[in-house]
Amino acid sequence: MASEAAESSRAREEAAEREAREELARQQRPAWVALATIPLMYGADDAGAEAMAPGTGDLLLKLQDPPRASYLKLPDRLVPDAMLHRPCILGSAPGRLLLRVSHKGQGRDVVDAEYYLLDTVGGTATLLPVLPPELPVKRFVSRTIGLIADPRCPGNYMVVYLHPTPMSSSRRYSGLLYYSTATAQWAFKPLVSAPDHEPWGEHGVFAHDGLLWWVDVAYGMLVCNPFDGHPRLRFIPLPPGCKMHGLVDGPRPTSVMDHRRLVRPSQGMLRYVEIQGLSYDSDAVNAPPPPPPTVTMWTLVNPAGPHTWRFECEASFADIWAHDSYVAAGLPRGKVPKLALVDPTNHDVVYFFQDTALFALDVRARRVLACAEERLMDRNFHYSPFVDAWEWEWELPPTVSGEDPAPDGTRISYLCYSIPRF
């Protein structure tokens, strides 16, 4: 009897220790992932996909701790011409992803698109209905579509498209075309007011503080409350001295801007990050950078003005390259990296792409915190529009088909979805 009691006591102690270790692991895991916005494709004979979701998986979500990127994987039968019309994640919210899948339509220059809302808790993917013919738009510009949780109906969401005024050279906007999961319908709201602004470039849409924000990293942000019965669109300029000039009549260096400028939420506030000291002249883009390039950060503290932004910090790349942590990470000195994202849980930490590496930098300390090779993403997509911080609850739902360690001990989790058939 004493022996049985001792064994029972040891079993309880081991169970308690195991639970304590698991709880510590959960607390130490990041609450977000660096999600690649261009999904990977897999074929019907993909043994890895079949092992993850035997006979059932259509969409596979591979989650990894940053700085490794996480991926959505799609079956190639869903996107037969993926190299020409790449699928893309357009927006994210806690527990949801908005996916666009394009394919060749009828007619030589026609491209049709389907939109899926992925429920990462329930493990389902909902195909959004086609637009009713009476609505005033037939084709989306993808970079003006956003996803936001509906505060009026917990558990519901809105997909919102900022609709441009027809034939407007300044890209002014006339209304919001939106899909609500609460009603399962598309509808249209005219804007009560919209600011005059220069021709607008689309550099992403995100939800923050109950509002939707459309970004042009050359000028600033357009913002509105999509749940307002009479929405008003407001313009918030970039910090003083950061607005770009000369873009109205000349070409926009869009990809170069995306390498060096971004606006992202972190710790409940919006942060503007810019690599300064480099030329935007197309003839000088590949020339050696003039010294000294720096990375700067600003925080949006008063959207209504007059003092809209607060300067946070600045770090010279000369100091970053000279730091022991940069050298230890094996990163090349003298080469300015491309902006990727801001850590949503620590605004001092900015992620960069350097060749095939994704690394985290504490800007104030000039210290590289982590670095990992990123070879699955196409190198043409190694900058900010193609990777996003998606805040994730690591209490994984029952739809997870596996959680395995990578060679370096990093845990990898897989979620699997079946798309609806219509």
Give tens-digit pLDDT for 310-334. Answer: 999 999 999 999 999 999 999 999 9
Q: Which range in 7-16, 138-147, 259-268 is most confidently predicted, on average pLDDT?
A: 259-268
What pLDDT, in 10s, does the model give residues 191-227? 998 887 666 767 889 999 999 999 999 989 999 999 9
Distances (CA, A) of 248 to 197, 245, 279: 11, 8, 18
Asked if residue 255 has pLDDT above 80, the reply is no
pLDDT at position 143, please? 72
- 135 or 181, which is more confident: 181
pLDDT at position 69, please? 92
Least confident of 9-23, 275-289, 402-416: 402-416
Per-residue burial over 65-94, b if 16 or more Cβ lie within 10 Å, else e, is bbbbbbbbbbbeebbeebeebbbbbbbbbe
Segment 252-280 mean pLDDT: 89
Segment 399-416 mean pLDDT: 52
Q: Which residues contact 167 (CB under 8 A, 6 or more apart)?
A: none
- Whether 69 is covered by a domain: the verdict is no
- Whether 42 is covered by a domain: the verdict is no
Least confident of 123-137, 324-338, 384-398: 384-398
Q: Which range in 231-240, 375-384, 386-395 is most confidently predicted, on average pLDDT?
A: 231-240
Segment 261-281 mean pLDDT: 92
- Whether 156 is covered by a domain: the verdict is no
- 142 or 153, which is more confident: 153
Asked if residue 18 has pLDDT above 60, the reply is no
Q: Is 101 left (phi over 0), alpha (psi -120 to 50) or beta?
A: beta
Q: Name the pLDDT band for 86 (thresholds 50, 70, 90).
A: confident
Asked if residue 58 has pLDDT above 80, the reply is no
Q: Which range in 13-22, 81-90, 256-265 is most confidently predicted, on average pLDDT?
A: 256-265
DSSP letters, 56-89, are T-SEEEEEE-TTSEEEEEEETTT-TTTTTS--EE
Q: Name the pLDDT band for 7 (thresholds 50, 70, 90).
A: low
- Whether 7 is covered by a domain: the verdict is no
User: What is the count of structural domains for the chain?
Assistant: 1
pLDDT at position 414, please? 61
Q: Name the pLDDT band for 123 (thresholds 50, 70, 90).
A: confident
- Whether 265 is covered by a domain: the verdict is yes
DSSP letters, 296-342, are EEEEE--TTSSS-EEEEEEEEHHHHHHSHHHHHTTPPTT---EEEEE
Segment 124-149 mean pLDDT: 80
Q: Name the pLDDT band for 309 (thresholds 50, 70, 90).
A: very high
Sign, CA torsion 396/399/402/406: negative
- Whether 361 is covered by a domain: the verdict is yes
Least confident of 298-312, 323-337, 392-406: 392-406
Q: Which range in 106-110, 162-166, 330-334 is most confidently predicted, on average pLDDT?
A: 330-334
Q: Name the pLDDT band for 21 (thresholds 50, 70, 90).
A: very low
pLDDT at position 421, please? 41
pLDDT at position 344, please? 95
Q: What is the rounded average pLDDT for all residues in the chain?
A: 80
- Whether 27 is covered by a domain: the verdict is no
Q: Cα–Cα–Cα angle for 358, 361, 367, nearest 5°? A: 130
The residue range of the domain holding 296 is 240-391
- Whether 222 is covered by a domain: the verdict is no
- 358 or 135, which is more confident: 358
pTM over the 0.85 mark:
no
